[in-house]
Amino acid sequence: MRTGVARGVGAVVLALWLSMPVAANADEPFSIEERITDRVDALGDRRGEVEEAIDRLFEDHRLDLYVIYVDNFSGMDRAEWADTTAQRSQLGINDALLAVATGERVYQLSVDADYPLTDDQLREIESEAIEPPLRANDWAGGAIGAANGIAATLSGQQVQAPEIVPGEESPSADGGFPWVPVLIGAGAVGVGAYAYPRARRRRSTSAGPSKLTLDDLAAR
């Protein structure tokens, strides 16, 4: 049980959902070792684009974005899954975690309670920069949109969706691929460098239904 002091409980949450069977392989929460963890090969040859967007965010604003792609959240509530993973990874006040379950087609954006953006700002980033590419199966675009959206908000600029490049609908449909760690270039800050309390709670801004269909998201 998490017992930190913070405003709100859980994580910033919105969802993508399609009626489809969930893969048998379950991905339990775990401690991440790199900025990008892609266990289902969702990024393919676009991993470098995601790295560049994350690097720019850190270089310009000293905020880190960690991205995870798995098949599913092992039957757990997505906020609980992302929060548990963030806590096990000792992510701190300047770290955001974007977790995407490609098989279930849901995602979770998790930030610290004291993250330097408001709930409304985070909701705008989700609706304008993360959800449009994910709806089009642009898995890399979701992460790029998150990094660029955070940077734009901090700079007082308008949040925009990245150029959308539709991808494979469910890259994890065959069970996924083994995760091969890839080291990030200069400027990366490993999660081990942080010493924030692991019990620190993550923030929740969700006020909507637990699962939204793609049609619902498009209508919004």
| Distance from C-alpha of 7 to C-alpha of 136, rounded to nearest angstrom | 33
pLDDT bucket at 216, cuts 50 / 70 / 90: low
Render pLDDT for 129-149 as a digit per residue (tens, 0 to 9). 999 999 999 999 999 999 999
Q: What is the pLDDT of residues 88-107, one digit of tens each?
A: 999 999 999 999 999 999 99
pLDDT of residue 208: 33
Helix, strand, or coil (residue 168):
coil
* pLDDT above 70 as % of the chain: 66
Q: How far apart are CA 63 and CA 118, in angstroms?
A: 15
Tell if the pTM clears 0.75, that is, is over it.
no
pLDDT digits (tens, 9 = 90+) for 15-37: 444 334 444 467 899 999 999 99
- Please tell me the distance from the alpha carbon of residue 122 to that of residue 103, in angstroms, as a whole number: 24
Which helix H or strand E contains 95, and what residues bound it?
strand 95-101
Task: Reply yes or no on whether the pLDDT at 200 is more than 60.
Answer: no
* Alpha-carbon dihedral angle through residues 12, 18, 23, 25, given to the nearest 10 degrees: 0
